[in-house]
Amino acid sequence: MSPGLPRRIKLAFIMQAALASVVITGGVLVTGLIVRDSVISERLDAEAATFWAGRAVDPSYPLPKTATLTGYIVPAGEGHRALPEYMRGLSVGRHRVTPPGRATARSRSA
């Protein structure tokens, strides 16, 4: 027998290392997505709570508008006319939308 580990054992170790790398990378990506969505959800909940608390005190309290968040209210009976055109087809709820003409981080770097 030649010195060192036989070829089959070396291949088994290499395959284990490759498989472990893929599993760990996948786990990190999934965890990152879950954490990102959780943080965004918490931020939106906090922003909404702040808005409704302010609106209860002052009916003219402004809608949320930051670099990454714009709030809209659709008054009852007005339909979706209060929304920009690109948002009118969306269902009720939270959506990740990029306004037309606004570059995203991905499109700017490409």
pLDDT along the chain (110 residues), means of 10: 75 95 97 91 90 92 84 77 82 80 52
Alpha-helical runs (H) found in the chain: 7-57, 105-109
- The 3-class SS string of 58-70 reads CCCCCCCECCCCE
Q: What is the pLDDT of residue 90?
A: 83
Residues 6+ apart with CB under 8 A from 73: 63, 82
Q: What is the pLDDT of residue 2?
A: 59
